Amino acid sequence: MKTKIVLWGNDENDKRILIAIQLRSEDNKVDVYTFHDEQANENLQRILLYEWREGKETAFPTEGFVHHEMALSLAESILPETVKVENMDLINRAQSEWQFVVLSSKLYQSYRDELEDLESKIGALETYDSGLWENLKGFWDKVRGQLRERNLSRNHADTLKEKTNMLFAKMKELNSKLNEVFVKQSQEVYDRYDAQIADVNKRLKDGGNLQMIFEELKTIQQKFRNEKLVRDMRSKMWDKIDEAFKVVKLQKFGPEAMASGNTPLQRLDRRFQGLLKALKKMEESINRDQEELNFQEKRIKSSDSGQLESQLREAKMKMVKDRIHSKSLKLKDMNETRDQLTAQMEKLRKKEEEKAAKQKEREERKTKKTPEAPAIAMLVEEEMNKSEAPPETKEDKVEEKGKDEGIMEDIKPTSEPASVSGNKEKEEEE
């Protein structure tokens, strides 16, 4: 954003003049220089238009002009009453933009003072201070927020970024020395727990008491939770503890236990519980933003708020409102997902209940069949007994034999069976 303007205009006598206007953002003033036509030769025009206005290093004329110092405000013009220009739109736009430049410059000065204070504190450190690290992070977060809102000029932002990076580098150097000690301590803690887990695994392999080993693992888990280690070692040890628990569970309950908790409904329930936690965090985040918005509104309404502070608070309120809007959209999507998961879980529950009911019905039918089997057999035997013929009399035997003879005669065998010939002999005897 340019802070210098060069254009033609007229004085109070309607004489043509060359006007050079410059913003002094540090004290909220505007310098207006006017050169009469006879003094504005080609060399002066070239210097003002192509060097001075563009910010190049050049010597500004020391004489031959009239200087006016004007206060920068939105209510009054930055031009003296004796100076008139045709292109007032250019002046009005510059006046509005320069008001923002002044506010931005004041914001930069505020951040620069805060950064110098941090620089003096960090420079006096001999060991790493986590509190100062958090203060530096908080400072840079504020600056980054202003950069996103484009409330700082590029030059000011680059200056703040360069000094902040230098301080971060200093803090990291101090932290690296502290980390060397911490890594050494972490290794000692890791080796101690690693030996305990190795002993547990050995006893599992040798067939030790599973209940005692399980309780010992629980104790190890509880103690290790409070230990301070570097991230990689902590993650690696947690994996070893989890693996030992899995071996105990496998040996104690069998492979079925390893598969428990992995049904579609259980997996969906775990996802649902995770979503509920995320929903709670999102709602809390929106509430915090809303509290921040209410706080800023109250501060703006307070009589002790300065103009710059009020304007910056308005800009911050806009940022918070945009953030609340974005989070509200995400919260709406999360609630829709929750409703979908609830419907899916209800559907799966009904399926599992129906499946369980059918399984119970099959088992009941199977149970009923077992005691009924002897009774059914007895009924069948009774029916078979009823269908048997009564004892034969001699007349019946003779009649039956006659039937047999007729049958045999129709078949005309080549030789009579022994039983048939025997019957004939008995018949003759009778």
Q: 3-class secondary structure for the chain?
A: CCCEEEEEEECCCCCEEEEEEEEECCCCEEEEEEEECCCCCHHHHHHHHHHHCCCCCCCCCCCCCEEEEEECCCCCCCCCCCCECCCHHHHHHHHHHHHHHHHHHHHHHHHHHHHHHHHHHHHCCCCCCHHHHHHHHHHHHHHHHHHHCCCCCHHHHHHHHHHHHHHHHHHHHHHHHHHHHHHHHHHHHHHHHHHHHHHHHHHHHCCCCHHHHHHHHHHHHHHHHCCCCCHHHHHHHHHHHHHHHHHHHHHHHCHHHHHCCCCHHHHHHHHHHHHHHHHHHHHHHHHHHHHHHHHHHHHHHCCCCCHHHHHHHHHHHHHHHHHHHHHHHHHHHHHHHHHHHHHHHHHHHHHHHHHHHHHHHHHHHHHHHHHHHHHHHHHHHHHHHHHCCCCCCHHHHHHHHHHHHHHHHHHCCCCCCHHHHHHHHHHHHC
Range with lowest mean pLDDT among 117-126, 244-253, 308-317, 400-409 = 400-409
Task: Identify the pLDDT of residue 283.
Answer: 93
Please check the confidence at residue 381 and state whether its pLDDT lies above 60.
no
pLDDT tens-digit series, residues 116-157: 999 999 999 888 888 999 999 999 999 998 888 888 888 899
Residues 245 and 332 in one domain: yes
Residues 211 and 339 in one domain: yes
Buried b (16+ CB within 10 A) or exposed e, 215-250: ebbeebeeebeeeebbeebbeebeebbeebbebbbe
Of 143, 177, 211, which one is at a domain's C-terminal end? Answer: 177
Task: Identify the pLDDT of residue 186.
Answer: 92
pLDDT, the chain, mean? 81
* CA atoms of 112 and 110, how far apart (whole Å): 5
Decide if 37 is inside a domain: yes
* CA atoms of 255 and 207, how far apart (whole Å): 17
Please check the confidence at residue 14 and state whether its pLDDT lies above 70.
yes
Residues 198 and 336 in one domain: yes
Decide if 270 is inside a domain: yes
Percent of the chain scoring above 70 in pLDDT: 82
Decide if 322 is inside a domain: yes
Q: What size, in residues, is the chain?
A: 430
Question: If you average pLDDT over residues 357-366, what whole number do you get?
Answer: 83
Residues 218 and 307 in one domain: yes
Please check the confidence at residue 261 and state whether its pLDDT lies above 70.
no
Q: What is the pTM of this model?
A: 0.42
Antiparallel, parallel or unpaired: β 4-10 and 16-24: antiparallel
Residues 341 and 294 in one domain: yes
Output the CA–CA distances (angstroms, integers) from residue 222 to 17, 208, 209, 219, in the order listed.
85, 22, 20, 5
Task: Identify the pLDDT of residue 260.
Answer: 52
Residues 167 and 272 in one domain: no
CA angle 341, 344, 348 (to 5 degrees): 135
Expressed as residue numbers, the domain containing 56 is 4-86
Decide if 23 is inside a domain: yes
User: Sorting pLDDT into bands at 50, 70 and 90, what band is 58?
Assistant: confident
Output the CA–CA distances (angstroms, integers) from residue 254 to 164, 210, 239, 265, 276, in the order listed.
58, 13, 21, 22, 33
Residues 238 and 303 in one domain: yes
Please check the confidence at residue 335 and state whether its pLDDT lies above 90.
yes
Residues 308 and 210 in one domain: yes
Decide if 118 is inside a domain: yes
- Count: domains in the chain: 3
Buried b (16+ CB within 10 A) or exposed e, 54-65: eeeeeeeeeeeb
User: Sorting pLDDT into bands at 50, 70 and 90, what band is 370?
Assistant: very low
Among candidate residues 86, 68, 92, 97, the one with its CA nearest the CA of residue 3: 97
Of 302, 324, 354, which one is at a domain's C-terminal end? Answer: 354
Bridge partners, residue 20, by sequence:
6, 33
Decide if 349 is inside a domain: yes
Task: Identify the pLDDT of residue 262.
Answer: 59
* CA atoms of 45 and 368, how far apart (whole Å): 113
Task: Identify the pLDDT of residue 306.
Answer: 63
Percent of the chain scoring above 90 in pLDDT: 37
Q: Between 48 and 313, name the one with better pLDDT.
A: 48
End-to-end CA distance of the chain: 146
Helices then strands, counting H and E runs in the chain, come out as: 11, 4
Question: If you average pLDDT over residues 359-378, what whole number do you get?
Answer: 63
Residues 210 and 157 in one domain: no
Please check the confidence at residue 20 and state whether its pLDDT lies above 80.
yes
Q: Between 297 and 110, name the one with better pLDDT.
A: 110
Please check the confidence at residue 63 and state whether its pLDDT lies above 90.
no
SS3 of 409, please?
A: helix
Task: Identify the pLDDT of residue 406.
Answer: 39
Residues 158 and 196 in one domain: no
Decide if 368 is inside a domain: no
Question: If you average pLDDT over residues 412-430, what whole number do you get?
Answer: 39
Decide if 218 is inside a domain: yes
Among candidate residues 167, 145, 169, the one with its CA nearest the CA of residue 157: 145
Task: Identify the pLDDT of residue 201.
Answer: 92
Question: If you average pLDDT over residues 312-326, what whole number do you get?
Answer: 84
Please give the helix or strand (H or E) that residue 71 lies within, else none. strand 66-71
Residues 229 and 341 in one domain: yes
pLDDT tens-digit series, residues 273-294: 999 999 999 999 999 989 988 8
Task: Identify the pLDDT of residue 258.
Answer: 53
Residues 164 and 228 in one domain: no
Please check the confidence at residue 238 and state whether its pLDDT lies above 90.
yes
Of 304, 320, 354, which one is at a domain's C-terminal end? Answer: 354
Q: Between 219 and 408, name the one with better pLDDT.
A: 219
Task: Identify the pLDDT of residue 1.
Answer: 66
